Amino acid sequence: MVNTKVDLCGITLDNPIIPASGTFGFGYEFAELYDINILGTFSFKGTTKEPRFGNPTPRIAECSSGMINAVGLQNPGVEKVISEELPKLKKCFDKKVMANVSGFSVDEYAYTCEKLDKCEQVGWLEVNISCPNVHGGGMSFGTDPEAAYEVTKAVKSVTKKPVILKLSPNVTDIVAIAKACEKGGADGISLINTMLGMRIDLNRKKPIIANKMGGFSGKAIFPVAVRMVYQVSSAVDVPVIGMGGVSCADDVIEMMLAGATAVEVGAQNLVDPFACKTIIEELPKAMEKYRIENLKDIIGAAHNG
């Protein structure tokens, strides 16, 4: 019998598979399809202080082996997430959930995290710093080590739950950002968020997405994600969650060899709603194939020698 259990910041996951934020809603669309308690956990839709409609449509464009989205963090706001979404989730999910948080100022991040800190169901806070800082000229928190440090520190001061900083890949030096988060007290790092991209409609001769640019994700970005997970996991001591283009059990193993303690699956859930269930079912077979008994033993194995 193979063992798929891993430890993520002090909480044991039955397996390292975590549907990524923004591709799994608040869980119940998928709970209609399969028992979502088979998941390691999942990261719910990016939540902000105030409710948000997000960007105008079209918000979606197809790419070779991937897609671009510019949803713009549509969510009901932290108040309603706590009063409506979490109670609904409780009916179909017994495990601790990962709360994904976004903000447009350091105070907003802290506000939202402080609220979610009080929720029994929330196991981890995953802080998405790919958002523009309204006080920083619109530059994203995740592209500036100083801002990333500030957000981490502010969030750490309002919660006892493990804080995982989710990094944007749209930077020159991902290691510098990861280290700044670690210095600020991050309990973990997750990466990668989507890569900035654009598609243009040849008939209309205009960008397909109303917002012009959006976040590129899906299978196509897997090699970039593996490289960044490898770089970051060798530079920090906290656990790393790997994601970006993961679509099968082999990808999960590759991410873990690169240094990931757990693995998130994003866009693949949208095109194959059973993607995570299938990966979880195939993982033991893949482990046998690659002669892995204990999944946690391979974390970062590609760094050795």
Partner 1 sequence: MKQSLFQITENVHLTENVMRMRLKGDTNAITASGQFINIKLDGLFLRRPISVCDCEGDTVTIIYKVVGKGTEQMSKMSSGTLDILTGLGNGYDTSLSGEKPLLIGGGVGVPPMYLLAKKLIGEGKDVSVILGFNTKNEVFYEEEFKALGCKVGVTTVDGSHGTKGFVTALMENTDYTYTFCCGPEPMLKAVFNTSKTSGQYSFEERMGCGFGACMGCSCKTVTGYKRICKEGPVLCKEEILW
Ligand X SMILES: Cc1cc2nc3c(=O)[nH]c(=O)nc-3n(C[C@H](O)[C@H](O)[C@H](O)COP(=O)(O)O)c2cc1C
Which residues participate in catalysis according to the annotation? 131
Q: Where does this chain touch ligand X (CB under 6 A) — which range of 105-113, 117-125, 138-146, 260-268? A: 260-268
Instruction: Give the span between the Cα atoms of 276 and 282, in whole angstroms.
Output: 10
Q: Where does this chain touch partner 1 (CB under 8 A) — which range of 116-124, 135-143, 169-177, 267-275? A: 267-275
Contact 48, 73 (CB under 8 A): yes
Ordered DSSP codes for 237-288: SS-EEEESS--SHHHHHHHHHHT-SEEEE-THHHH-TTHHHHHHHHHHHHHH
Question: φ, ψ for residue 2 (rounded to 5)?
Answer: -80, 155
Q: How far is the CB of 76 from ligand X (least distance, A)?
A: 13
152 is a contact residue toward ligand X (CB under 6 A): no
Q: Where does this chain touch ligand X (CB under 6 A) — which range of 84-92, 132-140, 217-225, 278-286? A: 217-225
Instruction: Give the span between the Cα atoms of 75 and 5, in whole angstroms.
Output: 32
**Residue closest to ligand X (Cβ):** 22
How far lies 144's CA from each of 141, 176, 235, 255, in Å?
6, 9, 17, 25
67 is a contact residue toward partner 1 (CB under 8 A): yes
65 is a contact residue toward partner 1 (CB under 8 A): yes
Binding site for ligand X (CB under 6 A): 20-23, 45-46, 69, 71, 73, 100, 128, 166, 193-194, 217-218, 221, 243-246, 265-268
In the complex, the residues that contact partner 1 under the rule CB under 8 A are 22-25, 29-30, 32-33, 45, 53-54, 57-67, 69, 71, 74, 208, 218-219, 267, 269-274
